[in-house]
Chains A and B, each alone.
Chain A
């Protein structure tokens, strides 16, 4: 029976809000369930990619399917565990895979950090990327993986800042950071570490690294008489 007047309207409103509530609940439930399925799928895929690595690789058709499953679920197919030979000799696919993962993290974060990433940060990213089933990665593993890319030239290296270890992924030849810092110096002729870090909103580490290399190359000269030390760009001298 249809109610009329104000009572009818309030009733209608009540029904509507109730329906909305049920609908939202259902939605929420569905979402939870989907998340559960995704987690299950992910877990299974991770397990399979480690357990049946060789079988998956040797069958091109299945490999394509497996690959696309991994992509849509968000599983890294390159997360195998250290085999006997990797443990013993430090060679093999384990390190190649790790190298790909390290390089990917470095590439993805390059915009922000200029190709310089803290080793601990990197490890955090790596464990997320490799999923729960994979082995933990040690500093030595990372060093070994970086070393395994040596045949590809000196693109990657681990450098030390005091006690901190950083992985440098962008070679100087392809790094425009140096130019950027010098552009900042263009107006005044000199630059300080803090000043450059503030105006570019970079880490102090990144600026220091760039300036140190510029000093080594003789592009910059430093004035230690003042505090903080100033870095003068030699090729801008003629402008003053």
Chain B
């Protein structure tokens, strides 16, 4: 939790943890907005604040979705986001020195240039203003004497680390206005004309107290309501730059997916409300019947209504046949067709419920009920192999663990792996996983410290269970059962003990599982058995106490 105080690099916003999922931090997955789909991810990505590396955000998994870039910290599951709509351009800079020693190596980086329209208009500025003003304080490199902004720890000129002992921050003074037309550079004392912003001799930037005039000419041109106080620092190129360093490769795939997502502007489509599609498909059935009832006095509008309904149907038919011409046609109309599908089924459901005669569904009621349960749990953006590369198994394990968190209660805290295979795949939809994939991911649970475990029974059955079925929890519960059975019976000191059938009815589980639970407790030496012709009864182990 300490890290929560660490401020994210500029332009990134932290996404608060969702307490409801109850996942451990290791299992943190990207939280999605409505209509958002995950596209690809890459591990080992570090963030830069301007030109400098952020130690606190140095290693994480970076996802690009259709709407945002999401970065999840490896260490504590901290999630940062940067919406695509703010990105102006994407540039890839290949790294160098792959064969050189680590100190000289540079990983390939993606540099995102943000459009300043959004910076100036968004509330983001509250966070950025104090940080950028800090860059006015400079420090002098002990090796090459170059002046660097305070937020950079490595000299921009020679690449040597800042030596904290010798280089005290050289406080940036405002340029000395010697006269109306001249000012002195605070770094090299060269006397410049008062209109310049960079020293002509040493190239250092003048602190921006007086540079607002320049701002007004450029930034204000596009956006009228800039507050000069907060906008002072935007103009520096660094301030509009966000860098991602890819230390484990995969940069080209990531950049490709990112560019695709930015150009397709999916976020704009989801913002459009369903109203638009309703415009194409007026819910003519209801409106037609309503207007029929209303118009009972005149009856003049009936032919008009019939005509309108006919027209709507024609439009619908045409849209349908156009969209299904080929895959490209369907892809380009995908979101419209999705809404149309929903509208058709909703209207059909409404119409058939009012006309009680029409039995529509060909499927069994049992299956429909089961489906509706699964639809609620649908995984909107399932993890795939193409998306995650070699992190596939781990990411799948996280997704699975999130899913289990929602369903396992319904199964009493324990579920057979085969059942899980079915419902998990149904929730994922088209993105089928193989039984082997599932088995591998489940095997990762313990290593990744996710809150579920796999157990193998003697019969060969594999189950996944929640912490309710950890050995400790089982032993505690069984001992409680034995204790309460002993209290209930007053016959003798030992009580009546418990059979697996008793435990089954107390726990609401099968006899085989109950027996398994008893055997686990017995293994711990907490209970002992009385093996007779009537079956096995278990009693509390008092032999331990005698010694």
Contact = CB atoms under 8 A, between A and B. Distances in A.
B501 A182 contact: yes
A166 to B, nearest CB: 16
Nearest to B305: A26
A56 B386 CA distance: 13
B436 A151 contact: yes
B453 to A, nearest CB: 14
Interface residues of A, number: 88
A235 B418 contact: no
A59 B40 CA distance: 11
Contacts of A163: none
B434 A61 contact: no
Contact of B534 (A19, A35, A235): A235
Given A27-B355, A62-B331, A235-B499, A151 B439 contact: yes
Contacts of A34: 285, 344, 347-348, 351
A152 to B, nearest CB: 4
B424 to A, nearest CB: 9
B431 A235 contact: no
Interface string A29-70: 011011101101100100111011001111111111111111
B358 A31 contact: yes
Given A70-B429, A128-B362, A107 B423 contact: yes
A153 interface: yes
Given A30-B285, A35-B348, A55 B327 contact: yes
Interface in B291-337: 292-293, 295-296, 299, 302, 305-306, 309, 313, 316-317, 320-321, 324, 327, 330-331, 334-335, 337
A187 interface: no
A71 interface: yes
A26 B289 contact: yes
A48 B330 contact: yes
A91 B340 CA distance: 37
Contacts of B302: 19, 22
Interface stretch (B92-100, B144-152, B164-172, B507-515): B507-515
Given A37-B317, A57-B430, A64 B327 contact: no
A151 B344 CA distance: 41
B547 interface: no
Interface string B241-267: 000000000000000000000001010
A129 B324 CA distance: 22
Contact of A65 (B284, B313, B337, B423): B337
Interface string B365-383: 0110110000100101100
A83 interface: no
A46 B384 CA distance: 23
B420 to A, nearest CB: 8
Nearest to A150: B435
Interface residues of B, number: 103
A136 to B, nearest CB: 17
B348 A96 contact: no
Contact of A19 (B284, B296, B330, B423): B296
A66 B535 contact: no
B292 to A, nearest CB: 4
Nearest to B260: A61
A85 interface: no
A175 interface: yes
B309 to A, nearest CB: 6
Contacts of B531: none
Contact of B327 (A38, A52, A65, A107): A52
Contact of B387 (A60, A128, A176, A182): A60
B461 A234 contact: no
A99 B435 contact: yes
Nearest to A58: B386
Given A234-B534, A234-B535, A172 B459 contact: yes
B535 A235 contact: yes
A64 B37 contact: yes
23 contacts: A15-B296, A23-B289, A26-B288, A34-B348, A41-B344, A47-B324, A49-B430, A55-B327, A61-B66, A69-B338, A70-B429, A72-B346, A73-B341, A74-B361, A96-B432, A103-B422, A152-B420, A153-B417, A155-B417, A172-B512, A173-B510, A173-B512, A174-B510
Query: Nearest 3 CB-CB pairs, A to B?
Result: A153-B462, A155-B418, A103-B422
Given A56-B327, A56-B430, A178-B511, 10 more contacts: A31-B358, A72-B338, A93-B434, A129-B367, A152-B435, A155-B419, A170-B416, A173-B516, A183-B505, A235-B535
Interface of A: 15-16, 19, 22-23, 26-28, 30-31, 33-35, 37-38, 40-41, 44, 47-49, 51-52, 55-74, 77-78, 93, 96-97, 99-100, 103-105, 107-109, 111-112, 125, 128-129, 148-156, 169-179, 182-183, 219, 234-235, 237-238
